[in-house]
Amino acid sequence: MNKSRYQQESQRFYGGFGNFTDFVTILIKHRLPERNTLWRQEFADKTADVLIKRLNQRILGEPYMKGRKSLSTLISYEVGRELGRPHFHLLIERPNGFTRKSLITVLDRVVGSMEWLINNVDVRDFTDSGCIRYICKGDYDAFILSGCNIKK
């Protein structure tokens, strides 16, 4: 299978995992001055796991805590080519009755509580599975699998 066809098939595959509503970009700090610690790529998996867990707790509450429900999410990590800024891209399915404004409020609270994340969240409409190709730039290894919760 050639690379282009593989990317198209992968895009369709990932696009079938949920009815995503929002496309979110979350910037990551280069360093924590209070600890004199620089960001390293190996921090991405754990940070993404904590982010997804906290979003589930805030948005779904008890049903998530009891293991009955979780948000549909796909998350990837990358370092920007031009500025070298590390960031996450998150696709998320808002639950019925949960507004975009409510999602932004929850994102601001959760991101603001995490020391590595910059509380300047960009939320846009999820338009189609082409967003998936954009967030991983054709390299599906960019997805952080432990942070990808999908409904079948």
**Which has the closest alpha carbon to 106: 56, 46, 146?**
56
Q: Quick one: pLDDT band at residue 5, thresholds 50, 70, 90?
A: confident
Render pLDDT for 48-91 as a digit per residue (tens, 0 to 9): 999 999 999 999 999 888 988 889 888 888 888 888 889 999 99
3-state secondary structure of 12: helix
The whole-model pTM stands at 0.84
3-state secondary structure of 66: coil
Q: Say if residue 114's pLDDT is above 90.
A: yes
CB 88 within 8 A of CB 48: yes
The ranges assigned to domains in the chain are 3-147
Alpha helices by DSSP H, listed for 91-142, are 100-112, 130-136
- Does the domain at 3-147 match CATH 3.30.70.360? Answer given as yes
